[in-house]
């Protein structure tokens, strides 16, 4: 099963696997939430989708020639509280 996203390709791709969200960015792929890998066909499909995404992420990282030790993370923009 091919990955439904191309890791690190853009800032727009996002998908859901059960309650797990996968967000694509140019410097990271973020996973948050949860996914139940149940012992049934739905669990198998969830496991295959997750594996395809992780395999694509590993391949993209292994193909990177100048992979840094760590990516600098930028804190989220602070938005003024309109009620405070």
**Higher pLDDT, residue 73 or 18:** 18
Per-residue model confidence as pLDDT tens digits over 48-84 = 999 999 999 999 999 999 999 998 876 666 777 788 7
**pLDDT value of residue 72:** 80
Q: Tell me the three-class secondary structure of 45-73, residue by residue.
A: HHHHHHHHHHHHHHHHHHHCCCCCCCCCC
Q: Of the given ranges (1-10, 11-20, 41-50, 69-78), which has the lowest mean pLDDT? A: 69-78
- Closest C-alpha among 28, 1, 3 to residue 15: 3
- Residue 47 in any domain: the answer is yes
Residue 79 lies in a domain: no
21's enclosing H/E stretch is strand 19-24
Position 74 in a domain: no
pTM of the prediction? 0.81
Domain that holds residue 19: 14-61
| pLDDT at residue 76, as a whole number | 61
**Is residue 25 one of the residues assigned to a domain?**
yes
> Residue 34 falls within a domain, yes or no?
yes
Residue 74 has a pLDDT of: 64
Within-domain flag for 1: no
Number of independent structural domains in the chain: 1
């Amino acid at each position: 099963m091919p990955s439904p996203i191309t890791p690190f390709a853009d800032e727009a791709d996002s998908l859901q696997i059960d309650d797990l969200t996968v967000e694509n960015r140019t410097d990271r792929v973020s996973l948050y939430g949860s996914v139940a890998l149940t012992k049934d066909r739905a669990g198998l499909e969830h496991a295959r989708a997750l594996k395809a995404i992780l395999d694509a992420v590993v391949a993209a990282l292994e193909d990177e020639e100048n992979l840094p030790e760590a990516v600098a993370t930028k804190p989220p923009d602070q938005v003024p509280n309109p009620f405070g």
